[in-house]
Structure 1
Amino acid sequence: MVWVLTLQAGTGRIGSRIYGYGIMWCPALATYLTCKLVKLDMAGLAWQWGRPKYQLWAYLIPLLYSLISYVIIWLAGWGGFYNKTFINEAAQSLGWSHLPQGLFIVLFFLVNGVIGLFGSMSTALGEEIGWRGFLVPQLSNLTTYTYTSLISGIIWAVWHYPLLIFGHYNNGASAWYGLTCFTVAIVSMSFISTWFRLKSNSLWTGVMLHASHNLFVQSFFTPITVATSQSKYFIDEFGAVLAGVLLIFAVYFWTRRNELTSIRFAQSSSYGTE
């Protein structure tokens, strides 16, 4: 039902925000129902926080690959730095319009990156309960890290396809182009998220990485970028640059897959434990 409501909604922020919460919590609902049906304990989803260093890196890595991607975009002229209209609107909204724009950009980056993280985590958690809380450890019982990352990543990507094809979740390029770039980006993210999930034994690394990605890509770097005639092919999650950079990051974590050989999950109500 929430998919139908979302696809019929307009382009305003209110509807997209409300329905977006509903969509992102569907995997959590599906996980709850699955656990009830097969008599698995939701407490076994690795709710423990784990070692702080994994949470910190899960937060910083999206910032790093986003920064690399958008510096490439700005230097190549596929988008401009910075969008004065957006910055003026944001400054006015926060009551900081008296500040120099350069200082405001720095403060906005910091405030958005800290306070905004909590809101972003509240939506990411709904998906991650399903993807990294339930799906990844179950797949890891059956196959390798590589196939676990590929399968969960493809499912994660395809789950978004209705919004990309029929909704407003795109950059304006052709559907096949946006789908290709988005799929490469999401599957690549899956290699990173799966590595952290298996290494940390905490679903919160997935939540942190997912929330940080949405926060920096969708709420900071894309809005502050001035769109050009070529931007729809290169910026955001539907452009080639972020997809390419994420692919490089994915290959890096794939080369570290042997560090995960000792991680195993019991196929029982405690499947979230080592």
Structure 2
Amino acid sequence: MDGKARIKAHVATYLGLTVLFCLPPYYWCIHTGNLGGGYKPVGFSLILMWGPALAALATCRLRSIPLDALGWNWRPTKYQWIAYGVPILYSGAAYIGIWLTGKGGFYNREFVANVAKGFGWSLPDGLVIVLFTLLAGTFGMARSLSSALGEEIGWRGFLTPQLAKFNSYTATSLWMGLIWSLYHYPILLFSNYNLGGPKWFSLTCFSVMVFAMCFVLTWLRMKSGSLWTGAILHASHNLFIQQIFTPLTVDTGHTNYYIDEFGLGLPIVTVVVAIYFWRKRHELPETAQ
């Protein structure tokens, strides 16, 4: 078996095992109609997100691939900071645009009141928002990272560098966008991983966003050699969108068509960011371009 055929066998083994490990949580999510089902310590979404990691570790074992190939190294640290900051920039830009155009309102006073009550704060709303954002954006990253890491050990730790061995940066990003989108489709179409809008609309917006994100994630993985860039970007993305910006947004009528991962805002901005990173592809190692 030549080198390219061997790598393709690695990829096929990994994808098959990913499907196998994800089938139980897919069933539970679809059967109950609830991605957030289960019990707090172990929910359906957490099990699903660790399927790609289990598949990567099993593939390394079965195919005699050293675990070091997954990219556990942390340095250079600057790429971890870039990974943390990029989702704040693109999600912030999307939501500020949504608030300024009136497609969604700022801010949800009920959400802010619940935050203040939960922390026992008697503070002005603006200060509550600032303090909550700081706490969520630091300590909250630990919880977000615990789930995002499961996917990223598989997607960016294992699969991205394997695909990059016989594909260009652009082709690798497109393949990752397709695979990562398909991974989400069962819960988007048949469970409650959406905002209740038309499924075709949610799927289209989500897919465009995921393809665009993969151009950023692939660039960071190939430039840094670290899977932690993917884990941190993924965790930051989930945290700031799902826990901060979306809850802060008031529904002004059809707001679900613009916010979160299933509306128009994020796909537009992430495509701009993807183009920026695509134009920097010459900075990648020559074999990854």
What band does the TM-score fall into relative to the shorter chain?
over 0.9
- What amino acid maps onto 1:108 in structure 2? F
Change (3 A) 1:49 1:255: same
- Report if aligned partners of 1:9, 1:15 keep a CA contact under 8 Å in 2: no
Deviations 1:148-168 (A, max 9, x none): 000011100110001110111
Q: Which of these residues, 177, 196, 200, is aligned with residue 153 of structure 1?
A: 177
Matches within 5 A, 1:91-170: 91-96=116-121, 98-170=122-194
The alignment status of 1:60 with 2:85, answered yes or no, reads yes
Aligned pairs, how many? 263
Cα distance between partner residues in 2 of 1:15 and 1:38: 33
Cα distance between partner residues in 1 of 2:233 and 2:71: 16
Q: Which of these residues, 227, 240, 249, is aligned with residue 216 of structure 1?
A: 240
The alignment status of 1:203 with 2:243, answered yes or no, reads no
The alignment status of 1:15 with 2:38, answered yes or no, reads yes
Q: Which of these residues, 255, 268, 282, is aligned with residue 231 of structure 1?
A: 255
> Structure 1 residue 51: deviation in Å?
0.8
Cα distance between partner residues in 2 of 1:251 and 1:35: 33
Structure 2 portions without partners, runs of 5+: 1-23
TM-score normalized with structure 1 length: 0.92
- What amino acid maps onto 1:209 in structure 2? L
Cα distance between partner residues in 2 of 1:8 and 1:227: 29
- What amino acid maps onto 1:176 in structure 2? W
- Report if aligned partners of 1:45, 1:134 keep a CA contact under 8 Å in 2: yes
Who is 2:112 aligned against?
Answer: 87
Q: Tell me how large the CA RMSD over aligned residues is.
A: 1.5
> Structure 1 residue 52: deviation in Å?
1.0
Deviations 1:237-274 (A, max 9, x none): 0001111100000011000001114356xxxxxxxxxx
Tell me, what secondary structure is at the counterpart of 1:142?
Answer: coil
Deviations 1:120-139 (A, max 9, x none): 11101000001000010001
Q: Which of these residues, 2, 15, 29, is aligned with residue 6 of structure 1?
A: 29
> Structure 1 residue 7: deviation in Å?
2.1
TM-score normalized with structure 2 length: 0.88
- What amino acid maps onto 1:92 in structure 2? K
Cα distance between partner residues in 2 of 1:16 and 1:236: 25
Structure 1 portions without partners, runs of 5+: 265-274
Who is 2:12 aligned against?
Answer: none
Q: State, as a whole percentage, how many aligned pairs show the same letter.
A: 49
- Report if aligned partners of 1:152, 1:190 keep a CA contact under 8 Å in 2: yes
> Structure 1 residue 13: deviation in Å?
5.2
> Structure 1 residue 31: deviation in Å?
0.8
Which structure has more relative contact order (CA 8 Å, sep 6+)? It is 1
Who is 1:183 aligned against?
Answer: 207
- What amino acid maps onto 1:194 in structure 2? T
Cα distance between partner residues in 2 of 1:11 and 1:3: 10
Change (3 A) 1:216 1:124: same
- Report if aligned partners of 2:35, 2:192 keep a CA contact under 8 Å in 1: no
Runs ≥4 residues deviating over 4 A: 10-14
Who is 1:37 aligned against?
Answer: 62
